[in-house]
A and B are shown apart, each in its own frame.
Chain A
Amino acid sequence: QVQLVQSGTEVTKPGASVKVSCKASGYTFTSFGISWVRQAPGQGLEWMGWISGYNGYTDYAQKLHGRVTLTTDTSTSTAYMELTNLKSDDTAVYYCARDQSSSSIWFDPWGQGTLVTVSS
C-alpha cells in the first residue's frame, strides 16, 4: 500500500535549521510529487510547498520568504524539507503528502507527521 514515513521529532533552537525526511513506498516515486503542509499547535493547515518527483520542479509558499527548500532523492524514494532561520512560531507538526508530478493538486495520502519544536 502507498505509505509515507517521516523522520522523528526534532527539538531545536531559534536561528537553527531543521531537515525532515519523508520516505515513500508502495508506488513509483517519480510518477508523483510531494507537498509539505504544517500545523501549529491547535491551529489549521498551512501549505508550504511542492516538489515534483519526476523533474524536481518546485513551488513554494511565498510567506516562508525563501527559508524553505524541498529536495528529493529518487534513488531512495525520499523527499526532504529543510527550514532555516527557525523562529518560535515555526513550532508545528510537519506533514508530507503525495501530490501530482506536474503541479500541486490534492494530497493523498499523508505521512504521520513530524513534530518540530523551536525553543531556546
Chain B
Amino acid sequence: EIVLTQSPGTLSLSPGERATLSCRASQSVGSGYLAWYQQKPGQAPRLLIYGASRRASGIPDRFSGSGSGTDFTLTISRLEPEDFAVYYCQQYSNSPRTFGQGTKLQIK
C-alpha cells in the first residue's frame, strides 16, 4: 500500500502568514490522484483539493495544491482564523486508499 508521510507534524503560524504543508508518498501517486482535507475538532473532514491541484466547490482561493509523483504540497496563502485545523492528504491511485497522519496547524 502507498504510505503517505506528512510534514511537519505541527505547524505554528499567525493569521495572515503563509502555510506550506507537505505530503510525501512511498511510491508514485499516478495521475496526481491526491486529495487534501481539513478537519476541525468535533467535525467531519471537509474536502479542499482533489486531483492534486483542483479546488473543491466552495473552497476559498487562498487554498492551493501542487505536486506530482511522490511530493505534494498544500499552500494556504494568507491564514484566516478559521484555517487553524488538522489537514490530511489522501491518495486514490492505489487500493487501499490511504491517508497521511495529518498536520496540525495551530495559532502561534
Contact = CB atoms under 8 A, between A and B. Distances in A.
Contacts of B37: 45, 107
B63 interface: no
Chain B contact surface mostly: loop
Residue from B44, B50, B92, B98 with most neighbouring chain A CB atoms (10 Å)? B44
30 contacts: A37-B45, A44-B88, A44-B99, A44-B101, A45-B37, A45-B88, A45-B99, A47-B90, A47-B96, A47-B97, A47-B98, A47-B99, A50-B97, A62-B96, A63-B96, A95-B45, A97-B44, A105-B33, A105-B50, A106-B35, A106-B47, A107-B35, A107-B45, A107-B90, A108-B46, A108-B50, A110-B44, A110-B46, A112-B44, A113-B44
Interface of B: 33, 35, 37, 44-47, 50, 56, 88, 90, 92, 95-102
